[in-house]
Structure 1
Amino acid sequence: MKALFRFFTSREGLIAVLCYVATAAFATLAFAPYSQSYLVWLSPLGLFYIEKKYRGEWKKLIWHGFAFAIVFYSFSFYWIYYMVTVFGGFPWFLAGPIFVLSGIFLNIKFPFFLLLFSFLAKKVGKYFPWLAGFSMLAAEFLTPQVFPWYFGNIVAENHILSQNAEYASAYGLTVLLFVFSYFLFQSLRPKRWLFIFRYLRTEGKNLLRKRKIVLGIGSVWLLFLSFWVNGAYLFWKWENVLPVAKREVLIVQPNAPLEFRDGRSVAEEMNLLMQRIDRLTEEGAKGDKIDLIVFPESGVPFYSTHETEATKITGVYQPWFESQMAILALRHKANVFFNEIDVDFLNGIKSRRNLRSYNSSALMNPNGERRESYQKVYLLIFGEYMPFEWMYELSEQTGRFEAGKSLSLIPYYKTADSVSTNLTPLRWPDSLQFSPSMVRDYYKTHTVPEEKVGSFLPLICYEVIIPEFVRRFQGDPDFFVNVTNDKWYGNTVETYEHHTLGRMRSIEFRKWMVRSTNSGTSVFVDHLGRNVKNEFTAVEASATLRGTVDVMPGYETFYRRFGNLLPWSFLILSGIYFGYYVAKRR
């Protein structure tokens, strides 16, 4: 400890701290919600300085890598501590170490990058900006990620450069950033450029070496310009593609409580919540035609509309909940997509020990009938499950959810051309008196022919930020629907970061996205990855957001068809090329 104190109070240590902070600060300011994307080119400079100063000193590079990880985590992911204490329910003296350890484990890419880059720089022995792009791409591919966050996501804050994600996702933008940023880093030394200029002008020098220098510098600028030109072309191309259909979508953001701790009973709190949902839906629809109403994850916590033996045993099935969802669908003659808890028996063996719970979202058709549902596949550690059984004893908040298995799209159905009716519309209080069948009987004279008119791709919470997972869904969706509950993270930047990481899927698939959150920020995203009208709902507030979603023509983008083929090809071919130089210098 004394050695660390002496180091960090020395001039050398203070410069190192400045490098940590600069990398973390520039990356944070370049990303959402600040979105000063021009700062991203400066972010890696601190890493390059540390690598160059300690090149070949492996232990020091590892320790500096851990320091980068913790400082970066503290800037951009400070809300993890909030999640561990609120979502996971851990006391502060456990949450602190969990935060630090997770910061190191989930950012091993920093020490990995420093070690790999330093090794290659020593062994290759030549000035290759491409080494930087190769090393960071390898670090992002090969180190663990729970919240997949890549440097390329920051570059994607630029709407032109982000269009290249159609081919290479965020990984390709990571390569661009580190190649060009390392070029800038080396350009900070004017003497280097003066030497190169004089060398190229001097006659009698090695012609082959001159060509390599020109080729090396030219390749960096060619890469940089090609990303800009291709991004501009794709932006122009897709901006001029006309939709094949349009859907009117209403997002309802109820700001449901995480739990009931304020002294009111569950029944009283739920009554207030359902009144709010009923009012918000009515105000948002305004009596106009709506094709789809979307409620967020945990919009109505703890209950289910799925009437089965398992849901009845556990008490999660509530007739009033099904009645209310049916009322909303029938009153507005719209599809209603909502989140619920679903329960079944493991392997069909009916016993309490074999009960399994799922984070599920289901669709109610315009006739108030429950149809298809989606059970969340990727579960959130410390929130929906614990990695070890004994850890459940440390947190009463953490759920015991099972992962779903289906990756099917959710069909939605034809809606009425008009919502006008001579019936007195049912409201929330009626759901306490009317059973689901009674609600349907009340509206039976105004039923809509059940005709499938499209389907959407459902994603719950942070599933939306995992591009490799989204590719696994079958079929061609009209659009994405991402439902999430960011209330666990309080009024922090998490909700903006979560959304910005997820909007990349719209570019990769060229589909619009409906993002419905419990407490903000809800938003519509177009197929160019733009936030429609830049209109976000407020954080920690109840609200509605209505928009027209374009259904883009079916088109299998390069990324959807081939995934990470381009990044992997670059990694493998570059590895072979650099391996040749390493072997040559032995």
Structure 2
Amino acid sequence: MKLIRFLISREGIISVFCYAVTALFSFLSFAPVNFPFFVWFAPLGLFLIEKRNRGEWKKLIYHGFGFSILFYLVSFHWIYHMTTVFGGFDWYLAVPIFIGSAILLNFKFPVYLLLFSFLAKRVKRFFPVIASVSILVAEFFTPQVFPWYFGNIVAENQILAQNAEYASSYGLSAFLFFVSYYLFYLRKPKTFFRILTHFLSKHKRIQKQFLFGGFGLVLVLVLFFGNGYYLYQKWSNVKPKAERDVLIVQPNAPLEFRDGRNPAEEIRNLMTRIDAMTESELKKSPVDLVVLPESGVPFFTTHDTEVTRYSRIYWHQFESLMAILSLRHGTNVFYNELDADLVPTALPGRISRRDVRMYNSSVLMNPNGERRKSYQKVFLLIFGEYMPFEWMYALSGQTGQFAPGTSLDLIPYYEPRKTASSQKKDLRWEDTMLMGPVSVREYYSKDKVEEKQIGTFLPLICYEVIISEFVRKFQGDPDFIVNVTNDKWYGNSVETYQHHTLGRLRAIEFRKWIVRSTNSGTSVFTDHLGRNIDNDFTPIESTAVIRKKVQVIPGEMTFYRLYGNLLSYLYMGIVGLVFFFYAKRNS
């Protein structure tokens, strides 16, 4: 009742309006709406709430959670869909999970309000630097499952996005709040005219204060827009050292069979579809690499081991089809699968289910149809691939129990065959009914070529692409980045566009192209400037193929790859020291 009385009061209506300003303007600025103009007004709701409640710490905490919940409802409503479909929870469990995640994973809002109010009370001066450093601290040191930062919205501006090469999304968040606070300060006409009067004043001290404040804004604008424009021109003129022809196959594989469909029939249809889509696209013109998405062929593996056979996930027809695709067209095929091994404590000579570890894995098959290097997903998705507590698995039978991988190696790929197959009749999916992987390779044995590595790429599965600190842990100089994902869990929602936009900055941080392969949309190619090539997205919840020539940008360790978030740490450290000495002097 107390909450209802507050919401219908004047104070409550103003508060909800402030929440809505931040939530709605952030949503309108972000994918797929993409109106970056609104981003400059998104923080105004936070500024107004802080000013009206400065120093009232308990109220600021409540308001912070209010921002969290409304922000989630507007921008991340698809998380509810994820908990019901991906996690398999009933609605009466999904609703509290959604609200709980909105609060627990958006601590940045109450942290920001508390920190900004604390500093503002002590400085008692114009606050753009305080607003800037407060959001930086709040985004840096609060937990998030889906790392979303205000800087990702700023990056919708193509010029400003280039600054991510030095400061990632954190620096763009700090820039946004610095500029936006000026807009908040000038929100009233009388304030603008008062400043203008000060400028025209004959008092030099007042003029200096005005000029100093205005100079700071102009300097920051020139720095970010100027550096962004310089980097945009610099990288636009870089000549690639090679081009790789890459085909993405989007098969729209089924998620599950709880609706009564026949699993065997659905999987056969899927394999026939993948075979036909690949053949139609490559029969006249081969490629260097074919990329299938996460869960493109769900539930199975091509890794033939005692453990995978015991776990009943090895399927010889899956391996046979991948071998056919690579051998028929003489190309590399990168695909997703399950994989399994035993825990180190397993007793030798015997296998029990509790000793088996499952992995979300992607693997490359070379142009000779031979399985090569694989990558096991390291950064697992909570409530989908694992539960934080063992007892929670009983609440959701849909949630997987995966183990994280340990390797952060690049995936080598090989020179494709330059000639067409010598076989008069190529193999198709139907032939796997009678021919195993060994027979398939023997059938194409005359077409075998020398294995010659021509490059490497950086493999990422699903949400790994949105975690900048994780991606920079990979060693070596990849030719490009490959992100395979299955966004079908979120239905026909904005999630797939937001997922891509959050990961798009990795192209700028690394100055490498990104090949994004999805199960049911949206697949797309992004260049080293963060531009989506031809703005060509595959449609959602459909089968599709998309093919582009990916440029291999000459290897260069960018500032972000070398030093990570160094600039953000320096900024927080310098402002912290200045504040410390300022507070000590005025105490």
Tell me if both proteins adopt one fold, taking TM over 0.5 as the criterion.
yes
Match of 2:24 in 1: 25
Query: Does 2:382 correspond to 1:419?
Result: no
Match of 1:582 in 2: 583
Kept in 2, the 8 Å contact 1:288–1:419? The answer is no
Q: Which of 313, 318, 329 in structure 1 is aligned with 2:310?
A: 313
Question: Which aligned pairs between 1:8-47 and structure 2 lie closer than 5 A?
Answer: 8-47=7-46
1:581 to partner: Cα distance = 2.2
Residue aligned with 1:328, SS: helix
Query: Does 2:123 correspond to 1:128?
Result: no
CA distance in 1, matches of 2:201, 2:176: 33
Question: Which aligned pairs between 1:77-476 and structure 2 lie closer than 5 A?
Answer: 77-203=76-202, 207=205, 210-347=207-344, 349=346, 350-352=350-352, 353-476=354-477
Match of 2:67 in 1: 68
The answer to which of 12-21 and 89-98 deviates more is 12-21
CA distance in 1, matches of 2:162, 2:320: 44
Cα distance change on mapping 1:263 and 1:429 into 2, 3 Å:
same
Kept in 2, the 8 Å contact 1:508–1:560? The answer is yes
Match of 1:544 in 2: 545
CA distance in 2, matches of 1:584, 1:496: 50
* Deviations 1:182-219 (CA, angstroms, capped at 9, x unpaired): 011001133334333434444455x3x65344223211
CA distance in 1, matches of 2:148, 2:343: 34
Cα distance change on mapping 1:264 and 1:5 into 2, 3 Å:
closer
CA distance in 1, matches of 2:199, 2:581: 26
CA distance in 1, matches of 2:388, 2:11: 40
CA distance in 1, matches of 2:260, 2:58: 54
CA distance in 2, matches of 1:389, 1:261: 24
* Deviations 1:338-363 (CA, angstroms, capped at 9, x unpaired): 00000000116243121100000000
1:417 to partner: Cα distance = 1.6
The answer to which of 449-458 and 16-25 deviates more is 16-25
CA distance in 2, matches of 1:423, 1:463: 43
Amino acid at match of 1:44: P
CA distance in 2, matches of 1:450, 1:199: 74
Amino acid at match of 2:487: D
Residue ranges of structure 2 left out of the alignment (5+ in a row)? none
Amino acid at match of 1:389: E
Q: Taking structure 1 as the reference length, what is the TM-score of the superposition?
A: 0.98
* Deviations 1:543-562 (CA, angstroms, capped at 9, x unpaired): 11111100000011000110
CA distance in 2, matches of 1:348, 1:534: 50
Amino acid at match of 1:519: S
1:420 to partner: Cα distance = 4.7
CA distance in 1, matches of 2:201, 2:25: 40
1:409 to partner: Cα distance = 0.1
1:261 to partner: Cα distance = 2.7
Query: Does 2:60 correspond to 1:54?
Result: no
Match of 1:507 in 2: 508
CA distance in 2, matches of 1:541, 1:198: 61
Kept in 2, the 8 Å contact 1:521–1:538? The answer is yes
1:7 to partner: Cα distance = 1.9
1:515 to partner: Cα distance = 0.2
Amino acid at match of 1:242: K
The answer to which of 413-422 and 141-150 deviates more is 413-422
Kept in 1, the 8 Å contact 2:487–2:519? The answer is yes
CA distance in 1, matches of 2:283, 2:174: 48
The answer to which of 346-355 and 493-502 deviates more is 346-355
Could you say what the CA RMSD is over the residues aligned between the two structures, in angstroms? 1.2
1:122 to partner: Cα distance = 0.6
* Deviations 1:135-181 (CA, angstroms, capped at 9, x unpaired): 00110001111110000000000111000000000011101100000
1:575 to partner: Cα distance = 1.1
CA distance in 2, matches of 1:374, 1:500: 23
1:283 to partner: Cα distance = 1.8
Kept in 2, the 8 Å contact 1:40–1:155? The answer is yes
1:578 to partner: Cα distance = 1.7
Amino acid at match of 1:94: L
CA distance in 2, matches of 1:194, 1:39: 25
CA distance in 1, matches of 2:258, 2:97: 25
Kept in 2, the 8 Å contact 1:287–1:419? The answer is no
Q: Taking structure 2 as the reference length, what is the TM-score of the superposition?
A: 0.97
Match of 1:565 in 2: 566
Residue aligned with 2:163, SS: helix
CA distance in 1, matches of 2:48, 2:272: 58
Kept in 2, the 8 Å contact 1:333–1:367? The answer is yes
Kept in 1, the 8 Å contact 2:307–2:351? The answer is no
1:129 to partner: Cα distance = 0.8
Amino acid at match of 1:308: T
Counting aligned pairs with the same residue, the percent is 60
The answer to which of 244-253 and 217-226 deviates more is 217-226
After the TM superposition, which parts of structure 1 deviate over 6 Å for at least 4 consecutive aligned residues?
A: none
Amino acid at match of 2:427: L
Amino acid at match of 1:321: F
1:269 to partner: Cα distance = 1.2
Kept in 2, the 8 Å contact 1:516–1:522? The answer is yes
Residue ranges of structure 1 left out of the alignment (5+ in a row)? none
Question: Which aligned pairs between 1:495-534 and structure 2 lie closer than 5 A?
Answer: 495-534=496-535
Kept in 2, the 8 Å contact 1:284–1:545? The answer is no
CA distance in 1, matches of 2:473, 2:121: 40
The answer to which of 372-381 and 343-352 deviates more is 343-352
1:224 to partner: Cα distance = 1.4
Residue aligned with 2:17, SS: helix
CA distance in 2, matches of 1:479, 1:84: 33
Kept in 2, the 8 Å contact 1:128–1:216? The answer is no
Amino acid at match of 2:281: G
